[in-house]
């Protein structure tokens, strides 16, 4: 590989030379609207960002890729005034600026479209666009503001959104468009989008992309942070890859193929993202018939054998997530005939499900996955307390030993056992959720709901490997996901779902991406 | 239990390692400075280190402290605070006094059972019905006060003879209330750090849904936390009733507020899942020391209340900063 000598084996000095050459060699670019030079930031012993330099040209969509912990969010937080850098400078239009608070960032024309949208759901679209704007005078002309809000929405191709509609009535994608319109009215010159598509459907994603291209045509720039490599190729002009807080390279889209991009992110050849399926399947373990969730799912049936991964594919809102949650006992009005190891299981109680060896890993780590305020040790020991206690007292040493072993198995540094879970990256937090399900009794069922949501490529690969080791331990795995590549990669059995009804069931290799997309978006007729 | 596990347990009780981040270090400095200022004020105040003032300090702290330890259970379980603990203190004191004719042991057990039962009932409602803990505690406050007034016709309960005299004395030279308080702290801290229930309590307080998904029964654990709170509060009620030789609804007036102040000043997180009994002990002492200092400098009770309010506000601000870490 051409890159390897320079980018991976090379010393820091070499890398700097390479970066410099690249900056110089870029032909015909206008002066950067936003630039950073030699930016560094550490948190105690952990270096989050080391000597990072990059430029964003006017009218450019600039992608930032990297695993969790690569320094993407630190960079964003420095640019938006949440963190101060330890060293290095920020340039706006070639002048050094100091960005100490989010408000100063706004004054410099740098604006972020937050992952957690900052809109007030009960106010109208128009009010939300102007809410908190420094440009609204105390005595303002309402028609003028209204006209400008409409202009901003029109520009984004979102003119169909009614200015008077309460934001609560809009979908997630439309809310993002409103948020972008809000930033446009504030004259943002650089828009930062941090994983904007994580919660959106395909149609919504396309609308966002169209809006970003419109922003670009206006001569404004976009800093686009994403895990999804496909999006890089759809929309970004140039891509900067970060790894372990250092800048690996900035490349234009044409110079970069997918394998190269993955290799740059991981620092090693991408290899097999999805491990091979386990050859042996056990007996039928989990059998579901006539499962109904009022208003969401109608008459769903499935059968899962131990040692295999069953994927339920469906778009957001199709009911796939709810099916998995119902099997975990988390939906109280679920109704259906479920048998586990030949014995019936009554739905509606998480405690009962857990007693039968059903475990649940959610993609929503903060809400139902991880004990964020507790230590890594406590998180890994969470499901084992009964096993490792004597007359109600915990056997601390034994718990520590098992937690340490599990930490090693899931690839978390044992020295971090005492760290709080929320000090870990998203991928590592998710590995904690998986870790607490490992090495439970054989014949357990592991239910997963979007298990890799918001997780980078490296941690994903590790989680897929973990899934296979669950299979080897004789678990039965059921996963709901809307990520089609993932479904095709890990699913031994794939069940497609459309609006709460099962469409098809396929074994591995029997089905193409095209078929699945057709099934979950507009099925022609129900299939066997 | 291995020594390693023990030391980890206590470290868990009171975070001793120095924080990494700049903000963490600043917060640490603020806390250390506050404690140092307090010590300096105590040393420079004439009369602080006299037997009388220390004795009264320890005694007052013991009553509030027991309630605060009970409150710690509730806060840790993620249920913020209870407004009913002051009334629970009063009524369990009254039950104790009423049951004294049955003998001291029987009276002790009855009062403890009473405290555990009425507080545990609130825990059951909160746990199994996911009711709002603050509303439940306010309803409980009204019910307890109303019920007690109805039964006693608003009169205090004065026992015949002095069967509770043993509770007014000393044990190994330590005043009884203080001994009971220290014992409560030790028992509760051991429960929190070394038992399964304790660990589960932290889990439920930290993330209810994740606890459910891990196979726990959060409702039962919340019930357990409230029973614990009731027991600790009953201990305070019994000791106070013994001290004043009467059971009266007025005894526990305002104790829930003092208790929650101690919990917060000690550094237990108001959103649950983080904190300890030892922290609450420290919090209770800090507040008591401030009160005694103000008293010795001749400030009125009103000023004392004002100062406690300022301290709690200050602590909440520092805690909130720490949360954003």
Q: Could you tell me what percent of chain A has a pLDDT over 90?
A: 31
Cross-strand pairs, A166: A124
B199: nearest CB among A361, A369, A378: A378
Residue numbers in A near B5 (CB within 8 A): 394-397, 399-400
Pair A237, A60: CB distance under 8 Å: yes
Q: Three-state SS string across A115-184, please? A: CCCCCCCCCEHHHHHHCCCCCCCCCCCHHHHHHHHHHHHHHCCCCCCCCCCEHHHCCHHHHHHHHHHHHH
Tokens of A392: 């109600």
pLDDT at A482 over 90: no
pLDDT in tens, B123-161: 999 999 999 999 999 999 999 999 999 999 888 888 777
Contacts of A448 in chain B (CB under 8 A): none
The chain A residue lying nearest B209, using CA atoms, is A368
Q: Which of A362, A393, A394 sits opposite B213 (nearest CB)?
A: A362
Least confident of B67-76, B138-147, B295-304: B295-304
Q: What is the Cα–Cα distance from A333 to A335, expressed in whole angstroms?
A: 6
Query: What is the rounded distance in angstroms from the CA atom of residue A120 to the CA atom of residue A279?
Result: 52
Full strand arrangement of the beta sheet holding A221-225: A110-113, A190-194, A221-225, A61-65, A238-243, A246-252
Chain B closest CA to A33's CA: distance in Å? 31
Tokens of A84: 């101060």
Lowest pLDDT segment from A4-8, B115-119, B269-273: A4-8
A237, A252 in Cβ contact below 8 A?
yes
Which residues, 6 or more positions from B86, have their beta carbon under 8 angstroms from its beta carbon? B67, B141, B252, B253, B254, B255, B256, B257
Contact A374 B212 (CB under 8 A): no
**Residue predicted with more confidence, B316 or A63:** A63
**Contact of B262 with B184, CB cutoff 8 Å:** no
Interface contact A378-B5, CB threshold 8 A: no
**Cα–Cα nearest to B59, from B220, B300, B288:** B288
Look at A199 and A75; give whichever has higher pLDDT.
A75
From A465, A469, A473, select the one nearest A489 (Cα to Cα): A465
Provide the 3-class DSSP secondary structure of residue A63.
strand
Residues sharing a CB contact under 8 Å with residue A194, sequence separation 6 or more, in sequence order? A72, A73, A76, A112, A113, A114, A115, A225
Q: Is the distance from CB of A432 to CB of B39 less than 8 angstroms?
A: no
Beta strands (DSSP E) in A11-82 are: 34-43, 46-56, 61-65
pLDDT at A115 over 70: no
pLDDT of residue B195 exceeding 80: yes
Q: B215 vs A354: CB contact, 8 Å cut-off?
A: yes
Nearest CA in chain B to A372: B206
pLDDT attached to residue A56: 92
The pLDDT score that the predictor gives to residue A288 is 94
Tokens, residue A13: 């000095």
Size of interface A-B (CB pairs under 8 A): 104
> Residue holding tokens 């069953």?
A310
A156: left (phi over 0), alpha (psi -120 to 50) or beta: alpha
Confidence of residue A8 (pLDDT cuts 50, 70, 90): very low
DSSP E strand stretches across B141-298: 170-171, 174-175
pLDDT over 70 at A403, yes or no: yes
Is the four-CA dihedral B63, B64, B65, B66 of positive or negative sign? positive
- Residues with Cβ within 8 Å of A13's Cβ and at least 6 positions away in sequence, in order, are none
CA A112 to chain centroid: 17
Mapped onto helix, strand or coil, the DSSP state of residue B129 is: helix
Structure tokens at A252: 């234009």
Residues of B with Cβ-Cβ distance to A378 under 8 angstroms: 199, 202-203
C-beta neighbour count of B256 within 10 angstroms: 25
| Mutate which: A394, A403, A446, A451, vs B, most B CBs within 10 A | A394
Cβ neighbours for A190, distance < 8 A, ≥ 6 positions apart: A33, A34, A56, A109, A110, A111, A220, A221, A222, A223
**ipTM, 2 dp:** 0.84
Q: What's the pLDDT at A277? A: 64
Asked if B206 and A395 come within 8 Å (Cβ–Cβ), the reply is no
Contact B207 A368 (CB under 8 A): yes
Lowest mean pLDDT among A129-138, A239-248, A271-280, A399-408: A271-280
Q: Give pLDDT, residue A192.
A: 93
Contact B284, B262 (CB under 8 A): yes
Query: Are residues A37 and A91 in contact, defined by beta-carbon separation less than 8 angstroms?
Result: yes
Higher pLDDT, A29 or A36: A36
Asked if residues A298 and A500 have their Cβ atoms less than 8 Å apart, the reply is yes
Whether the predicted pLDDT of A22 surpasses 70: no
To test the contact with chain B by mutation, choose from A41, A366, A388, A396 the residue with the greatest count of B C-beta atoms within 10 A, namely: A396
Nearest to A43 among B20, B195, B203 (CB): B20
> How many Å apart are CA A34 and CA A152, to the nearest integer?
23
For the cut 60, the answer to whether the pLDDT of residue B88 exceeds it is: yes
Q: What's the confidence (pLDDT) of residue A6?
A: 35
Q: Tokens for B186?
A: 């030790």
Find chain B residues with C-beta within 8 A of A359's C-beta.
213, 215
CB crowding B63-74: b at 16 or more within 10 Å, else e: bbbbbbbbbbbb
The SS3 assignment for B257 reads helix
Going B186 to B274 to B252 to B137, the CA torsion angle's sign is negative
Q: B254 or B84: whose pLDDT is higher?
A: B84
In this predicted model, which residue has the larger pLDDT, B61 or B166?
B61
* Token pair belonging to B83: 């407004």
Could you say which residues from 182 to 221 on chain B have a Cβ atom under 8 Å away from some Cβ of chain A? 194-197, 199-200, 202-203, 206-207, 209-217
Q: In what order do the strands lie in the sheet with A46-56?
A: A46-56, A34-43, A87-92, A95-97
The HSE-up count of residue A110 (CA atoms within 13 Å, CB side) is 28
Q: Both tokens of residue B79?
A: 């249920």
Give dist(CA A383, CA B191) in Å, integer. 19
Mean pLDDT across A171-189: 86
Give the whole-angstrom CA distance, residue A141 versus residue A134: 15
At A117 the pLDDT is: 65
Q: Establish how many alpha carbons lie within 13 A of residue A318's alpha carbon, considering only the half-sphere containing its beta carbon.
A: 26
Indicate whether B4 pLDDT > 80: no
Q: Are strands A61-65 and A238-243 parallel, antiparallel or unpaired?
A: parallel
| pTM greater than the 0.95 cutoff | no
B289: three-class secondary structure by DSSP: helix
Residue B310 distance to chain A (closest CA, Å): 27
How far, in Å, CA of B34 to CA of B282, rounded?
Answer: 13
Task: Give the pLDDT band of residue B324 (cuts 50, 70, 90).
Answer: low
Name the residue facing B195 among A43, A328, A393 (closest C-beta): A393
pLDDT by residue (tens digit) across A407-434?
Answer: 999 988 888 898 888 888 888 999 999 9
Q: Are strands A393-394 and A389-390 parallel, antiparallel or unpaired?
A: antiparallel
Asked if the Cβ–Cβ distance from B273 to A371 is below 8 Å, we say yes
Q: Which of B5, B202, B217 sits opposite A397 (nearest CB)?
A: B5
Average per-residue pLDDT in chain A?
83
Residues A1-6, mean pLDDT to the nearest whole number:
36
């Amino acid at each position: 590989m051409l890159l390897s000598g320079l980018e991976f084996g090379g010393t820091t000095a070499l890398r700097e030379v390479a970066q410099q050459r690249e900056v110089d060699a870029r032909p015909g670019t206008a002066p950067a609207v936003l630039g950073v030079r030699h930016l560094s930031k550490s948190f105690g012993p952990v270096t989050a960002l080391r000597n990072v330099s990059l430029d964003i040209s006017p009218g450019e969509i600039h992608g930032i890729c990297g695993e969790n912990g690569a320094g993407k969010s630190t960079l964003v937080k420095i640019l938006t005034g949440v963190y101060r850098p330890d060293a290095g400078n920020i340039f706006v239009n070639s002048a050094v600026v100091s960005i100490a608070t989010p408000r100063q960032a706004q004054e410099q024309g740098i604006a972020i479209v937050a992952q957690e949208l900052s809109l007030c759901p009960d106010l109208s679209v128009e009010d939300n666009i102007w809410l908190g704007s420094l440009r609204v005078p105390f005595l303002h002309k309402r028609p003028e503001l209204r006209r400008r809000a409409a202009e901003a929405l029109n520009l984004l191709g979102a003119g169909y959104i009614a200015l008077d509609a309460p934001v609560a009535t809009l979908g997630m994608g439309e809310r993002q468009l409103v948020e972008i319109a809000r930033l446009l009215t504030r004259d943002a010159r650089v828009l930062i989008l941090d994983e904007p598509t994580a919660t959106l459907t395909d149609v919504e994603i396309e609308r966002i992309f169209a809006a970003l291209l419109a922003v670009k045509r206006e001569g404004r720039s976009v800093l686009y942070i994403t895990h999804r490599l496909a999006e890089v190729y759809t929309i970004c002009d140039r891509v900067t890859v970060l790894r372990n807080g250092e800048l690996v390279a900035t490349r234009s889209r044409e110079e970069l193929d997918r394998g190269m991009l993955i290799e740059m992110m991981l620092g090693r050849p991408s290899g097999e993202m999805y491990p091979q399926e386990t050859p042996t399947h056990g007996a039928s373990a989990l059998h579901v018939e006539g499962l109904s969730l009022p208003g969401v799912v109608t008459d769903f049936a499935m059968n899962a054998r131990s040692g295999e991964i069953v994927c339920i594919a469906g778009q957001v809102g199709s009911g796939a997530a709810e099916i998995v949650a119902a099997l975990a006992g988390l939906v109280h009005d679920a109704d259906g005939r479920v048998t586990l190891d030949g014995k019936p299981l009554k739905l509606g109680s998480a405690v009962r499900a857990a007693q039968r060896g059903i475990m649940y890993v959610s993609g929503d780590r903060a809400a139902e996955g991880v004990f964020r305020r507790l230590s890594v040790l406590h998180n890994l020991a969470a499901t084992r307390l009964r096993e490792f206690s004597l007359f109600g007292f915990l056997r601390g040493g034994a718990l520590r030993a098992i937690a340490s072993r599990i930490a090693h198995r899931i690839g978390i540094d044992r020295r971090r056992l005492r760290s709080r879970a929320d000090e870990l990256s998203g991928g590592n937090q998710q590995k904690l959720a998986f870790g607490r399900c490992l090495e439970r009794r054989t014949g357990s069922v592991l239910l997963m709901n979007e298990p890799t949501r918001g997780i980078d490529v490296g941690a994903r690969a590790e989680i897929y490997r973990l899934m296979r080791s669950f299979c080897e331990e004789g678990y039965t795995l059921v996963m709901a996901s809307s990520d089609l590549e993932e479904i095709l990669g890990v699913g031994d059995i794939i069940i497609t779902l459309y609006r709460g009804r099962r469409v098809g069931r396929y074994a591995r290799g029997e089905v193409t991406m095209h078929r699945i997309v057709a099934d979950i978006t507009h099925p022609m007729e129900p299939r066997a | 239990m291995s020594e390693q596990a023990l030391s980890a347990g206590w470290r868990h009780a009171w975070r001793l390692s120095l924080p990494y981040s700049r903000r963490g270090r600043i917060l640490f400095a603020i806390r250390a400075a506050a404690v140092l200022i307090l010590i300096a004020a105590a040393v420079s105040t004439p009369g602080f280190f006299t037997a009388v003032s220390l004795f009264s300090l320890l005694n007052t702290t013991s009553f509030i402290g027991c309630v605060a330890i009970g409150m710690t259970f509730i806060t840790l379980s993620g249920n913020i605070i209870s407004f009913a603990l002051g009334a629970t203190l009063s009524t369990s004191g009254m039950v104790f006094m009423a049951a004294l004719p049955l003998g001291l042991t029987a009276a002790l057990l009855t009062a403890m059972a009473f405290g555990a039962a009425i507080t545990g009932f609130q825990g059951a409602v909160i746990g199994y019905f996911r009711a709002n803990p603050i509303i439940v505690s306010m309803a409980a406050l009204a019910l307890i006060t109303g019920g007690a007034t109805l039964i006693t016709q608003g009169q205090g309960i004065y026992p015949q003879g002095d069967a509770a005299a043993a509770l007014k004395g000393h044990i190994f030279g330590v005043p009884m209330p203080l001994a009971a308080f220290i014992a409560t702290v030790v028992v509760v801290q051991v429960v929190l750090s070394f038992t399964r229930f304790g660990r589960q309590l932290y889990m439920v307080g930290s993330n209810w849904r994740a606890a459910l998904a891990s196979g726990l029964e959060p409702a039962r654990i919340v019930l357990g936390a409230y029973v614990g709170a009731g027991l600790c509060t009953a201990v305070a009620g019994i000791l106070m009733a013994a001290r004043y030789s009467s059971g009266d609804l007025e005894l526990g007036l305002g104790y829930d507020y003092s208790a929650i102040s101690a919990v917060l000043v000690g550094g237990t997180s108001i959103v649950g899942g983080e904190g300890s009994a030892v922290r609450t002990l420290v919090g209770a002492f800090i507040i008591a020391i401030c009160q005694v200092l103000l008293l010795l400098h001749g400030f009125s009770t009103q000023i004392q209340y004002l100062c406690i309010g300022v301290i709690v506000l200050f602590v909440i601000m520092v805690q909130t900063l720490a949360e954003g870490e």
